[in-house]
A and B are shown apart, each in its own frame.
Chain A
Amino acid sequence: MKKTLFALLILALALPAVAEVRIDETRQVAADATVTVENISGSLRLSGWGKNEVQVTGTLGRGLEKVEITGSGSRLDVRVIYPRNCHDCGGADLEIRVPVGCRLEVNTVSADIEVGEVSGEGRFESVSGTVTVATSGPSLRVKSVSGDVVIRGAGPRVEANTVSGTLTARMPTLQEGDLESVSGDIRIEAEIAAKGRVEAQTVSGDVELRLPAAVGADFEVHSFSGDIRNEFGHEARRTSEYGPGRELEFSNGDGSARVYVKTLSGEIRLLKR
C-alpha cells in the first residue's frame, strides 16, 4: 500500500512537468494587420484564411508557461513564454491562421517555420530552424544562421540570407531576388521576370541557377577560385593576370533582366531547366 501511495505521489508530482498544455485562442484583427510571432523551439505553421481573425492552436511542451497574445486591430503579437534560463524545456508546436493579407513577422531560435497561403509582406527569421515559405506577398525577407531556407513561392521581391544553411528558391517567376550565404549552398529554380534582377552570392557555398533556356538576361558571374559551369554556351575567362579569379559575362535572349553571381571558392552552375 505504501509503495502504491509513493508511486502515485511521484506520478502526481511529475505530471505537471511532463504534461502538454493545449492552446486554442482566437483574436479579431484588421485584414491588413501586422502579426508578429515569437517562439524558441518546436514548430510554427502559419497559413492565411479569409477571416479577419488570428487563431492560435497547438500544444506547449514540458515546462512552458503560456502563449501571450497582446494587441488587436492593426497589430497582434503572439509570443510563447518560456521560463528564464530554462534549457531543458520542451518546445511549442503551434498552428496559426492569419488574415490572408496580413503582414507577418516571425522569429524563432530552433523552431521550424512553415508559411503558406498568405499574400502580405513577410519577414521570417530563425537561428537554426528550417524556414519554408510559400507566399505571394509583395516582399519577402528570410534570415537564418544555420537553418535551411526553402522558398516555394513568393511575390516580386525576395531577400534571403544565411550563414551556413542552404538557400533554395523554387518558384514560377522571380522579379527581384537577393540571396546570400557564407558557406551554405544557394539554389534558384525560376523564370526571371523581364527586366528583373537576381543576385546570388556566397563565400564558399555552391550556386546553382536552373533557368529556362530562353531566359532573357544579362549575366555577370564571378568566382575567385571555384569552377564555373555554364550550359548557356559561354566560357568564363580570367579576370586578372595576377590572381586566379574568373568571370563570365554574357547576354541571353532579350537580355532585359540582370543576373549577378559571386563566390570566393564555391562552384557556380548555370543550368538550363
Chain B
Amino acid sequence: MMTCDDAGRWLDDLVDGDLGEALASEVRAHLDACAACRAEECRRRELVLEAASLPREIQPSGDLWAGIAARLSEPVGIVEARPVRRWTVWSGMAAAAVLLVAGTALVTAHLVRSRPRAVTARASSPAAIVPAAITSELNAPQVDLERAAGALRAALESRRGQLSPATLKVVDENLAIIDAAIDRLQAALREDPGNRALVTLLTATWERKIDLLQTASELARTS
C-alpha cells in the first residue's frame, strides 16, 4: 500500500496526466483512502487551473519595472559620494526588486513548462507551428528574465574590479557558455516550437544565468 510520502511524490505527475495507468491507479487508491492527500491533490489541480491564466496576471507592472530601471540608472557619482553605505542600501533594494522580477518570471516559466499537455498540445501542422502557444507563453516571462538578467549584469559590471581576475574569468566564461546555450535553445525552439523538453531546458538555463549573476554580484559586494 502506498504511503503519503509515496503518493506526494507522484501527485504532480498524476495531475499533469503523466503517470502510467498502473501507477496512477495505485496513487488514486491511496487518495481514495486518505483525505489529506486528496485535499493536496485538489490544491494542486486548482494551482494548475490558475496557472493557465497566470503569465499575464503576474507580470510585474510597468510601474514596478520603471522604478527598478530608474534606480539602476542612477548616476554612479552618487554611489561614489558615499561609497559603502549608499551602495549597500541601493543595491539591496534594487537587487531585491530585480530578483522579484526574475523570481516571478521563473515561477511563471516553470508553471508554463509543467502545465498539463492537454493545455498546450504539440503543434501538428506547419501552420500551427508558427504562432505556437507554447513559445508565446514562454515569451512573457522571458522578457522579464532578460530585463532582470540585464539589470544584474549591469550591477556586476559596475563593480567588476572587486572580483579577483581568476573569479572574473570563470564568471565571464560561464556567462558566455550560458548565453550561447540560450541562443541555441531559442534557435531550436524556432525550429520545433512545440518541443516541451526544449522549453524545460531553456527555463533551467535562464535559472542558471540569474543564479550565476546573483552569485557573482554577491561575491563582488563582499570581496
Contact = CB atoms under 8 A, between A and B. Distances in A.
B200 A243 contact: no
Interface in B10-33: 10, 13, 20, 22-23
B128 to A, nearest CB: 10
Interface stretch (B66-74, B97-105, B138-146, B186-194): B186-194
Interface string B162-189: 1011110011011001100100110010
A224 B219 contact: no
Q: Which of B10, B195, B200 has the most CB of A within 10 A?
A: B195
Interface stretch (A16-24, A62-70, A197-205): A197-205
A224 B20 contact: no
A87 B198 CA distance: 40
A146 B167 CA distance: 10
A125 B212 CA distance: 12
Interface string A100-120: 000000000110000000000
Nearest to B191: A243
Interface stretch (B48-56, B147-155, B201-209): B201-209
A185 interface: no
18 contacts: A85-B223, A128-B166, A145-B212, A146-B170, A163-B212, A164-B177, A182-B178, A182-B208, A183-B177, A195-B9, A201-B200, A201-B204, A203-B181, A203-B205, A224-B195, A240-B195, A244-B192, A262-B197
Interface of A: 84-85, 87, 109-110, 125, 127-128, 143, 145-146, 161, 163-164, 176, 180, 182-183, 195, 197, 201, 203-204, 218, 222, 224-225, 239-240, 242-245, 247, 251, 255-256, 258, 262-265
Interface of B: 6, 9-10, 13, 20, 22-23, 122, 126, 129, 162, 164-167, 170-171, 173-174, 177-178, 181, 184-185, 188, 191-192, 194-195, 197-198, 200-201, 204-205, 208, 211-212, 215, 219, 223
